[in-house]
Structure 1
Amino acid sequence: MQAAVKKIGIGIGSDAEKVIDSACRVSVPCDIICYSRPDTGKVPPGCSRVRIAESETPEAMLVSDLMTGAIDAAVRGTLPANTTLQALKEAAGVDHLERIALLETAGGKKFLFAPVGIDEGWTVADKLALVRKGRLIARRFGLPDKVGVLSGGRFGDVGRHARVDRSMADAELVARLGDAVHYEILIEDAIESCGLIIAPDGISGNLVFRTLTFLGAGHGHGAPVVNIDKIFVDTSRASPDYANALLLAAALLE
């Protein structure tokens, strides 16, 4: 018996044309359902594997369909972050979300990076969880499973500020317990051989992500949520398109 075709949902909150164009253009062995408010956008003729699902609350419908198995994976697309991620947390029964972003430098170097949310990765335990889960994703995508841990300074900076000292001590502990390497503040060295890089905290991680993708000519391919048992790829509404996020979701389905 032929296996059922997998379904990926993607949200439309704004820029409907950008989302629908990404869905029609991407080559994945899946049907794609675009979740939007009524009369937000239309699928052009000839794009038979893409359809629209309309709702007054598309974020709730997307999350509900993911949780019930009506779709096999979800991409946030251009839906608003606060309401969509809150709906996901409530449906999944978690009090926070852990995301690991797949990034690409302007020179074409791909790597996983976390934490990327300002409320993520603040404790040693949080970082160790990201190391463990991120290493598995790195292997799945053919990236090096070497992990680099960053801190707020170099060893010679010890004593200059208590917060820097604490970040370095935490990074040393994460590296030791997580079989990783502490690269101090030298992200430019970590990128040379690491498939996963761990930022000192959620604020610095978010700043690195935004600097690379919005100022540094790099790319963000989406950030899978790794502490729920469903495939959900978070995205930025400022992304130029969502083809790579859909490809990421499809790869996780495999």
Structure 2
Amino acid sequence: MITLGIGCGADAGKVLASAEKAASEDVRVLCYSYLPQNESAYVGSIFSDRPHAALIDDLCAGKIDGAVRGTLPANETLRYLKTAYGVPRLERIALLETVHGDRFFLAPVGVDEGWSVEEKADLVVRGRKLAQRFGMSDNTAVLSGGRTGDIGRHPVVDRSIRDAIQVAEQTGAVHCEILIEDAVKEFGVIIAPDGISGNLIFRTLTFLGAGIGHGAPVTNIPGVFVDSSRASSGYVPALNLAAALAKNNTR
């Protein structure tokens, strides 16, 4: 049996409902919260005055096979995760699905991620590995802030185009300019121009465009940690993604 942990801060009811739906005889879910929560056959409760630390400590110690942030605060949770695994930054890659059923991995999705050619090239490599694990196309599109013909209109746009071309050349990816609507039909991995635009793509698709955010695995740590937005309507997709990654790790 796989054991997952999920952060249960604000809106505990939403987290508990998701845990009940995702849990099964193959997957046990532990809710890490400030107060004890209702338990059932496959859903347990871990309470602590620092649930974010308890969740990550148990992940590091191997007491759980994977973790989902749930409704725990992003800043303190991700900061503690970085410290626990000794990495200078976290590299997250989100699995998204459009309303038409097109699935793709998107990065960067954190506003402080993917601001250099080197970081984006590294995300290409990590994104392809994720796509391969899930049987998806690892063909990769690199987006920029405009079409190539827009060079000269603004220095920020110029830089994003130059960077995208360089990333594509270094990694064998395809520079798809600003045409994300075409890229999602062909590519399993999409690299946004920077963390801000990536975060906006994620939020627009999932919160305005009737798409699905399946969660964003952290790819530069050995443990399975799936980041999730507190604004999500539920966490079943993120728990299912964490379970799939955890099962893959134990094979």
User: TM class, shorter-chain normalised?
Assistant: over 0.9
Once residues 44 and 94 of structure 2 are traced to their aligned partners in structure 1, the CA distance between those partners, rounded to angstroms, is 27
Once residues 170 and 159 of structure 1 are traced to their aligned partners in structure 2, the CA distance between those partners, rounded to angstroms, is 15
Describe the SS at the equivalent of 1:192. helix
Describe the SS at the equivalent of 2:157. helix
Question: Which residue of 11, 17, 20 corresponds with 2:16?
Answer: 20
Once residues 91 and 26 of structure 1 are traced to their aligned partners in structure 2, the CA distance between those partners, rounded to angstroms, is 27
Q: Does 2:245 correspond to 1:252?
A: yes
Q: Does 2:52 correspond to 1:56?
A: no
Partner of 1:134: 127
Partner of 1:236: 229
Q: Please state how far the C-alpha of 1:27 moved relative to its aligned partner.
A: 5.0
1:151-171 Cα offsets, whole Å, 9 max, x none, are 011011111111111111110
Describe the SS at the equivalent of 1:191. helix
Once residues 161 and 25 of structure 1 are traced to their aligned partners in structure 2, the CA distance between those partners, rounded to angstroms, is 49
User: One-letter code of the match for 2:84?
Assistant: A
Once residues 112 and 37 of structure 1 are traced to their aligned partners in structure 2, the CA distance between those partners, rounded to angstroms, is 33
Question: Which residue of 104, 110, 114 corresponds with 2:103?
Answer: 110
Aligned length: 246
Alpha-carbon contact 2:23-2:42 (below 8 Å) kept:
no
Describe the SS at the equivalent of 2:4. strand
Q: Please state how far the C-alpha of 1:6 moved relative to its aligned partner.
A: 2.3
Q: Please state how far the C-alpha of 1:229 moved relative to its aligned partner.
A: 1.1
Once the two structures are aligned, what percentage of the paired residues are identical?
A: 58
Q: Please state how far the C-alpha of 1:239 moved relative to its aligned partner.
A: 0.8
Q: Please state how far the C-alpha of 1:18 moved relative to its aligned partner.
A: 1.2
Question: Which residue of 31, 35, 49 corresponds with 1:34?
Answer: 31
RMSD: 1.0
Partner of 1:221: 214
Q: Please state how far the C-alpha of 1:199 moved relative to its aligned partner.
A: 0.2
1:1-23 Cα offsets, whole Å, 9 max, x none, are xxxx2211111001111111111
> Measured at CA, do residues 27 and 108 of structure 1 come closer, stay the same or move farther in structure 2, by a change above 3 Å?
farther
Question: Which residue of 8, 11, 30 corresponds with 2:7?
Answer: 11
Q: Does 2:139 correspond to 1:143?
A: no
1:174-207 Cα offsets, whole Å, 9 max, x none, are 1111111000000011111100100000111111
Once residues 238 and 196 of structure 1 are traced to their aligned partners in structure 2, the CA distance between those partners, rounded to angstroms, is 24
Question: Which residue of 176, 181, 184 corresponds with 1:183?
Answer: 176
User: One-letter code of the match for 2:4?
Assistant: I
Once residues 3 and 56 of structure 2 are traced to their aligned partners in structure 1, the CA distance between those partners, rounded to angstroms, is 13
Partner of 1:211: 204
Q: Does 2:76 correspond to 1:83?
A: yes
1:74-105 Cα offsets, whole Å, 9 max, x none, are 10011110111111011011121110000111
Stretches of structure 1 that go unaligned for 5 or more consecutive residues are none
